[in-house]
Structure 1
């Protein structure tokens, strides 16, 4: 049976090795080989280059930064610089055996470890068991641990001693995208170098070099779109470039890149800005209708619109550099031409409306509705204009400004500002000596606490008392159009003197913090509106012997409280409940 099966089997032809195409992705093919070919990380390459020139290389480096900014690339270039047969140099030759082996990823003395897949402490111990042995063919044995933050806590502890005092022939290079998860004990043992996110200009320059060397026809707009989509990551941008090359069949066109990555709405931005500048609502809605047919993301459209407005604002502020600003902001000349139709104030207003609408889109019934409302606001709202067409930059200043209150020097004797405390009770009542008096005149007083001076001799004159009695102070104070602490001040005062022009109020010593020149001026204005004459007001600190508006309100409140209690107690239903269930009515104040 076995012989029959064997006879029926047909040999499988082996693939011709000459037909196998060893394709290497662009991100690996165009990985920089030297420090000079790196883009956008000058602060890191400068530090490493100077250290290599002085032969002062740290035993442990930590490279941090987001994805695709060159952490592993710089680590491999540093490894070549240390092990190049020319010697330790910032410019490795790339031709010796050590450099070639590192470039091809087969150097036995460059041990690359993926921290995400070797998180256990046993893996770290196994790795460190060979640290004591000398390198096989190179100058240094280099341990490159990528995504080192993924190691466990025990793995970090096992690494600490070796990381602090490694043998002279060992170098550690750590790379991570999340340095916050690395223990401080490890951070303190490494020389940390932070890599920044790459700018769109750096990514664009690198993409341009790639397509030029690959001899691929392209449009500048296509590369600009891809550079922006890279979002600071060179590797992401090169991967998107490779995807666009495959989609466009080796010819990069802007409209095909827009179609591939959902950016077809870009071609509508110039006409949309023109419609906003012309305040053409019908055209704005027609453009939105066309945008809806390409299935665009309205949040991205609004973000691109804000970027265009930002570029227009810069071009208006710096007209001599508008061309370079347009290239930097990656907008075309048609978009930049709108700057001549919009004023600088209008651009700022449009930008602010769009910025505020970004967070409101999620609350709209749907994204299109929210975007259309944003365009309507942009088209309808515009800076306020004067009759002569000039923009209003600030509110007009009133022609008449109240003169600031002034205060006389503290040592001056303000004779007309000092008054005595006059009792409003009968003469026979005992009169206590008043507390020190604060006399404030709103016409002369400053916005500062009034000085406290010694009182004059107490004198009670019947004609003053009768003059004060001509006004019902409780009724007058209740009608004064005041509020807040100013009204509270009036409620605690009692009328002491009134001669038709001059008014003296007495205030308890405990309420003196209520007195201020501003409040006195407010009370004086309120008195003028009620009495119809100019009133010169003075407030004294003394003994209040009489009923103030505050006392009257408290008395009325207590009476209403008692009346409410009596009405509850006398209610027939309540009395029935009390008698039936042997209940009692709780004190309302206690409740």
Structure 2
């Protein structure tokens, strides 16, 4: 008897035996059960996912002698002949070899005749995207309105090449690729019924090699049975597929983790001795690294029955997350560069050495290197010197930036600045009764290292950002310092500024200028609602006073005068609309605050142009701040609209009072059409 391959012998015969396409099976069974049958179906998907199998099951459901049903009997003449491929009313056409308009015309000419023995004539056109444009045009009309006894089933692996005119006439179902778990489960069931011994890791290798295709998995299983003489072991499948034992990859990652280049070369030589593919090695290495990274981010996601679970957990604990990401990137990109290398061995070795060379200092294990005292157990262990050397280098690399940071006089990165918690503002007592604020030497925080050059009196640039000092809670400066709003601009002051206490009165509140007021000055009075305090510290915290605006025109600007100014500014486009639609809020120093009711204008690039024009108009550098919110009647646009309404009313009243118009209305029954009167602006005659 002729041997029947597993892919044909175990082809599903009904919807309930179809693997991995539950979404398609559900739609088709509901349609068959309710008799809501379309005349054309389109099945798309990669090879071996069940397109042809699904079309045969659907043809049996339509022509089963038991009636149209979602569960064909499988024993009647129509069902058996469709399974055997000899049913006269079921035609499978290969569009790759019958792609011309002549073959399509011949098929459509036969479609008009009634079926010979079945209920429907079912035409299954495989790889339909291979048809020519003329062939598609020839079938459009029949595909849209076929005879009631004709059903079309189209199958393709590339739906992008099918005209949209064809897609719109079909019900489209996208068949998914099989998961490795579903393929392994199906292979276990098939081999158990075939009485064939197997190992589950071997089936997992076959499922991974099938890449989502059940037909490929069954064909590879046939090949593995022949290769292993009926004993499906993981070692035999690896030898047949030419895949790499995961132990080699685990050893490679362990060597990369400790920076052992000798062990890396040893693994590369072992792969060469076995004749394995280095491209496949890099691909498998990338897969393993991805699983390691997933385990690091989401522990416990690796199934317990996975043969690589233990190794993945160990590698996840040993590899730094940065290392895993870096190794993955190098493996993926190096696989593409193998064709450019002198040979695959050199390309693979260089990829591994690149992983070692690109590892940042400090990420060689452990991630946080402990200090290694002399005479430790590491030094006495075999190979301890080689393993301890990268750890000592990592510890030194971590310690060196910390030492440099304490001596640096440049900008301290925000991530390294530890800002102490600020206590809530403490109300100031009456200044006449309060003792002068002085700073004892203990109140000044001590430096961890030598002071910066600017504090020592050396002429050096002032830092742009300085670590905030930790003032003692019981010091006199604490209550005053808590009430200060910190400024982001700093300037170097003399040490005498430690004892300077400034108050801000109500008159200078708008521009943020701090006017020094002595405690004993006559007429000095404190108002809780109008006084703010600040302490100017020499180092490391300094404050810079914002000066009052020097432009009288800007100082005298009001919200009532803004509409006229906004309408007269020499700007166009978004800047002009921003000026016309905005209203004046207030002025703080040289900062002009506007409000606009249109969010796009508030965020438009016209702000920069308007700021430049305002600076030129007022004769000083203006900072423009535009807020989004509801506006009132004090905008140039609102004023213009109000003037337009007044002009319109005046025009309508003038027309109504015109004697000539009144004569036309009284003698000829004329009528003024509402809305036809418009105010025309007066222009000066040339």
Scaled by the length of structure 1, the TM-score of the pair is 0.63
Per the TM alignment, residue 166 of structure 1 is displaced from its structure 2 partner at its CA by: 1.1
Please give the per-residue CA displacement for 1:202-233, whole angstroms capped at 9, x wherever unaligned.
22222222222211112222211111111122
**Higher RCO, 1 vs 2 (CA within 8 Å, ≥6 residues apart):** 1
Listed as ranges, the gaps of 5+ residues in structure 2 are 372-393, 399-412, 419-465, 468-485, 491-504, 515-542, 557-612, 625-686
Q: Does 1:351 align with 2:328?
A: yes
Q: Does 1:331 align with 2:308?
A: yes
Native 8 Å contact 1:269 1:335 kept in 2: no
For 1:403, the equivalent position in structure 2 comes to 487
Please give the per-residue CA displacement for 1:220-250, whole angstroms capped at 9, x wherever unaligned.
2221111111112221222122112112112
Native 8 Å contact 1:265 1:294 kept in 2: no
Q: Secondary structure at the match of 2:73?
A: coil
Native 8 Å contact 1:442 1:517 kept in 2: no
CA distance in 1, matches of 2:32, 2:117: 21
CA distance in 2, matches of 1:291, 1:148: 44
For 1:146, the equivalent position in structure 2 comes to 126
1:33 pairs with 4, 13, 21, which one? Answer: 13
Please give the per-residue CA displacement for 1:296-336, whole angstroms capped at 9, x wherever unaligned.
22222112112112222333444444334x73xx7364454
Please give the per-residue CA displacement for 1:124-149, whole angstroms capped at 9, x wherever unaligned.
12111122222122111111111111
Q: Does 1:93 align with 2:93?
A: no
Per the TM alignment, residue 101 of structure 1 is displaced from its structure 2 partner at its CA by: 0.8
Native 8 Å contact 2:513 2:545 kept in 1: no
User: CA 1:269 to 1:387, structure 2 compared with 1: closer, same or farther past 3 Å?
Assistant: closer
User: CA 1:212 to 1:452, structure 2 compared with 1: closer, same or farther past 3 Å?
Assistant: farther
Per the TM alignment, residue 414 of structure 1 is displaced from its structure 2 partner at its CA by: 5.8
Q: Does 1:368 align with 2:470?
A: no
Native 8 Å contact 1:72 1:175 kept in 2: yes
CA distance in 2, matches of 1:395, 1:171: 70
Scaled by the length of structure 2, the TM-score of the pair is 0.55
For 2:172, the equivalent position in structure 1 comes to 192
1:112 pairs with 80, 84, 92, which one? Answer: 92
Q: Secondary structure at the match of 1:113?
A: strand
2:252 pairs with 269, 272, 275, which one? Answer: 272
User: CA 1:413 to 1:370, structure 2 compared with 1: closer, same or farther past 3 Å?
Assistant: same
How many residue pairs get aligned? The number is 418
For 2:214, the equivalent position in structure 1 comes to 234
C-alpha RMSD of matched pairs (Å): 3.8
Native 8 Å contact 1:119 1:150 kept in 2: yes
User: CA 1:454 to 1:213, structure 2 compared with 1: closer, same or farther past 3 Å?
Assistant: same
Matches within 5 A, 1:440-519: 443-444=545-546, 454=553
CA distance in 2, matches of 1:398, 1:285: 44
For 1:208, the equivalent position in structure 2 comes to 188
1:63 pairs with 18, 43, 46, which one? Answer: 43
User: CA 1:403 to 1:93, structure 2 compared with 1: closer, same or farther past 3 Å?
Assistant: farther
Native 8 Å contact 1:275 1:283 kept in 2: yes
Matches within 5 A, 1:137-176: 137-176=117-156
For 1:82, the equivalent position in structure 2 comes to 62
2:108 pairs with 119, 128, 137, which one? Answer: 128
Per the TM alignment, residue 201 of structure 1 is displaced from its structure 2 partner at its CA by: 1.8
Per the TM alignment, residue 404 of structure 1 is displaced from its structure 2 partner at its CA by: 3.8
1:54 pairs with 7, 11, 34, which one? Answer: 34
For 2:586, the equivalent position in structure 1 comes to none
CA distance in 2, matches of 1:357, 1:177: 30
CA distance in 1, matches of 2:13, 2:313: 39
Native 8 Å contact 1:219 1:253 kept in 2: yes
Q: Secondary structure at the match of 1:173?
A: strand
Please give the per-residue CA displacement for 1:176-198, whole angstroms capped at 9, x wherever unaligned.
11112211111111111111222
Listed as ranges, the gaps of 5+ residues in structure 1 are 1-20, 418-440, 458-506, 519-591
